């Protein structure tokens, strides 16, 4: 069976009931099913595939990759796409936009570091870090209905916030 | 300690079964770090690569991280030495096969291995026997602090420790636990464990990490998320949720097997021991498979006169690199099969 929208084979078949109680059948290829918001691409796509999509997205409608290049080390985004390896710490800034969604997918949707802070990063960064951690733990405690724990965490939070002031 | 000594015995940490040793073989914590002010290795010039190597090497060796630290210059060492280090989980296959200047620092008890110029400038790992993740992390964290007192690691407040591959950015931590799950494999429940682990964003791999099959019912569970979850949270997930659950399932499956089909279990275990004691040719896959069955028998109290430590040791010493070092000559696959069978017969009193 062909897709309702194009000549590709239909792989997604859907029967919808309208409000009037009428049956509407849809037969779509994967691409059009995604376009209609019926099918979703598999979440855990391999890294190369993810990167490819970002490049295409940034390249607009043409297949040519955007000439994104890190000024610090000279690595271009195309080379990163091939190896999955960045060229230097500054690449994270140079490719920030393109990397954002990749990072989100690779790390459960979180985009901010939580954890060890090197000594040289300074006291302020340590405090920011602690605040973020406490806030996250508080959210989790509330979600799990652990109210006593939540209260303790709230106290700790205001304590750390006061230190800042 | 020198490399030739290594192949004669199993890693010291492996010779004693650790906590939960019936199911948990080892705990490992690895941290990825890069020097600030230098490109990552893909973009480093030959001079920069050498500078990074020398700087890290000196820092590591001057830091009194263990009673004795040995430095192995991998670009100078023969293939067999590198194979042995891979078999002992002290370096990655990728690091073994590299071409450029690179090395590894090892503590004499092999609990510490610090790879320099692998995918990141520094990858430090701490290995422990059994379930000892907290201890392993505490030591890794201490080594990191010690190195950081003299080396400036690339870090951003938003993204944490910056790594060559964005999948490691943040904490740069990889926590791995090696498990022996023969009963879950027999009952087919191991796939359930795989799915549950995947839902928790954990990777389940075989004996030799990425892309390897779970030979000998040995599975490695490790975290994949490194950004947005602190080291402590990741460790807590492992120590309080994931590992206790898998250990409990495996133990329950072992008990159930013994209750329902004791003869089947005994048959499998004794048959495996018999084959190991009598075979004249053994491939590494077959040896791993048979040793796994014997290990299960020992932990279930179905075999006398065979020790868990002895079996753990054989799992390591019967691998190709170790066998060739013991034999003192390079051997073909067929020669290794014969030598392996002879060695195991001798060790198990065949």
Model ipTM value: 0.88
Which tokens hold the place of B263? 């003869």
- Give the mean pLDDT of chain B: 92
Q: Is B48 on the interface with A (CB under 8 A)?
A: no
Which tokens hold the place of B164? 């060559």
For residue A61, the model assigns a pLDDT of: 46
Q: Are B121 and B35 in contact (CB under 8 A)?
A: yes
Which class does domain B3-254 fall in?
A: alpha beta
Lowest average pLDDT, out of A3-12, A51-60, B264-273, B302-311, goes to A51-60
Report how far residue B57's alpha carbon sits from residue B78's, in angstroms, rounded to the nearest whole number. Answer: 20
Q: Is 60 exceeded by the pLDDT of residue B35? A: yes
Report how far residue B247's alpha carbon sits from residue B23's, in angstroms, rounded to the nearest whole number. Answer: 6
Percent of chain B having pLDDT more than 90? 80
- Position A53 confidence tier, pLDDT thresholds 50, 70, 90: low
User: Would you say the C-alpha torsion B45, B47, B52, B57 has a positive or negative sign?
Assistant: positive
Q: DSSP secondary-structure letter at A76?
A: B
- Position A1 confidence tier, pLDDT thresholds 50, 70, 90: confident
- Position A62 confidence tier, pLDDT thresholds 50, 70, 90: very low
- Position B12 confidence tier, pLDDT thresholds 50, 70, 90: confident
Mean pLDDT in residue range B71-76:
95
Size of interface A-B (CB pairs under 8 A): 120
Question: Residue B183 contacts by C-beta under 8 Å, 6 or more apart in sequence?
Answer: B250, B253, B254, B256, B257, B296
Mean pLDDT in residue range B25-37:
96
Report how far residue B40's alpha carbon sits from residue B165's, in angstroms, rounded to the nearest whole number. Answer: 10
Please list, residue by residue across A141-156, b when 16 or more beta carbons sit within 10 angstroms of its beta carbon and e when fewer do.
beeeeeeeebeebeeb
Tell me whether strands B69-73 and B24-33 are parallel, antiparallel or unpaired: unpaired
Chain A from 80 to 99: CB within 8 A of any B CB: 83-89, 91-92, 99
Report how far residue A72's alpha carbon sits from residue A85's, in angstroms, rounded to the nearest whole number. Answer: 15
Residues from chain A that touch B145, judged by Cβ atoms under 8 A, are 119
Looking at chain A, which residue has its C-alpha nearest residue B119? Answer: A85
For residue B231, the model assigns a pLDDT of: 96
Question: What residues pair up with B176 in beta bridges, in sequence order?
Answer: B28, B222
Question: Looking at per-residue confidence, does B2 or B265 come out higher?
Answer: B265
Domain ranges of chain B: 3-254, 262-348
User: Would you say the C-alpha torsion B237, B295, B207, B113 has a positive or negative sign?
Assistant: positive
Percent of chain A having pLDDT more than 70? 76
Question: Looking at per-residue confidence, does B195 or B104 come out higher?
Answer: B104
- Position B250 confidence tier, pLDDT thresholds 50, 70, 90: very high
Looking at chain B, which residue has its C-alpha nearest residue A140? Answer: B233
3-state DSSP call for residue B287? Answer: helix
Closest-CA distance, A133 to chain B, in angstroms, reads 8
Which tokens hold the place of B106? 């090892």
Mean pLDDT in residue range B245-271:
95
pLDDT in tens, B143-176: 999 999 989 999 999 999 999 999 999 999 999 9
Q: Is 50 exceeded by the pLDDT of residue A29? A: yes
Q: How many CB atoms lie within 10 A of CB B221?
A: 21
For residue B129, the model assigns a pLDDT of: 92
């Amino acid at each position: 069976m062909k897709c309702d929208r194009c000549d590709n084979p239909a792989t997604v078949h859907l029967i919808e009931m309208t409000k009037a109680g009428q049956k509407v059948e849809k037969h779509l290829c994967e691409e059009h099913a995604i376009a209609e918001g019926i099918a979703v691409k598999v979440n855990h796509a391999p890294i190369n595939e993810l990167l490819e999509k970002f490049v295409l997205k940034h390249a607009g409608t043409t297949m040519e990759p955007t000439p994104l290049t890190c000024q610090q080390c000279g690595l271009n985004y195309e080379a990163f796409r091939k190896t999955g390896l960045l060229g230097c710490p500054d690449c994270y800034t140079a490719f920030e936009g393109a990397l954002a969604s990749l990072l989100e997918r690779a790390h459960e949707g979180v985009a901010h570091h939580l954890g060890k802070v090197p000594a040289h990063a300074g006291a302020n960064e340590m405090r920011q870090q602690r605040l973020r951690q406490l806030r996250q733990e508080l959210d989790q405690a509330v979600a799990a209905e652990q109210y006593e724990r939540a209260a303790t965490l709230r106290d700790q939070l205001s304590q750390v916030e006061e230190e800042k002031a | 300690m020198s490399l030739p000594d290594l192949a004669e015995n199993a890693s010291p940490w492996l010779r004693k079964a650790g906590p939960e040793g019936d199911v948990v073989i080892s705990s490992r914590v690895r941290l990825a770090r890069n020097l600030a002010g230098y490109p990552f290795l893909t973009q480093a010039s030959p001079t920069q690569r050498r500078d990074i190597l020398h700087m890290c090497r000196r820092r590591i060796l001057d830091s009194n991280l263990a009673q004795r630290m040995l430095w192995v210059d991998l670009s100078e060492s023969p293939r067999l030495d590198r194979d042995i280090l891979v078999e002992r989980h002290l370096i990655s296959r990728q690091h073994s096969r590299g071409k450029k200047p690179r090395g590894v620092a090892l503590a004499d008890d092999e609990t510490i291995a610090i790879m320099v110029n692998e995918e990141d400038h520094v990858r430090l790992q701490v290995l422990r026997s059994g379930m000892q993740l907290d201890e392993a992390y505490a030591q890794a964290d201490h080594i990191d602090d010690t190195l950081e007192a003299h080396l400036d690691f690339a870090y951003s407040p938003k993204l944490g420790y910056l790594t060559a591959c964005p999948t490691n950015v943040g904490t740069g931590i990889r926590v791995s636990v090696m498990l022996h799950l023969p009963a879950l494999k027999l009952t087919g429940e191991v796939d359930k464990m795989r799915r549950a682990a995947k839902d928790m964003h954990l990777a389940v791999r075989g004996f030799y990490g990425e892309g390897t099959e779970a030979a000998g019912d040995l599975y490695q569970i490790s975290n994949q998320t490194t950004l947005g979850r602190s080291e402590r949270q990741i460790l807590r997930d492992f120590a309080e949720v994931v590992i206790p659950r898998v250990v409990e399932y495996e133990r329950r499956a072992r008990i159930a097997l013994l209750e329902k089909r004791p003869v089947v279990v005994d048959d499998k275990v004794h048959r495996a021991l018999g084959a190991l004691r009598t075979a004249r040719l053994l491939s590494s896959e077959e040896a791993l498979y048979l040793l796994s069955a014997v290990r299960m028998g020992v932990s279930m109290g179905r075999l006398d006169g065979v020790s868990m430590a002895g079996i753990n040791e054989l799992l390591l010493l019967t691998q190709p690199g170790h066998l060739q070092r013991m034999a003192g000559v390079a051997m073909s696959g067929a020669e290794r099969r014969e030598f392996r069978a002879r060695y195991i017969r001798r060790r198990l009193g065949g």
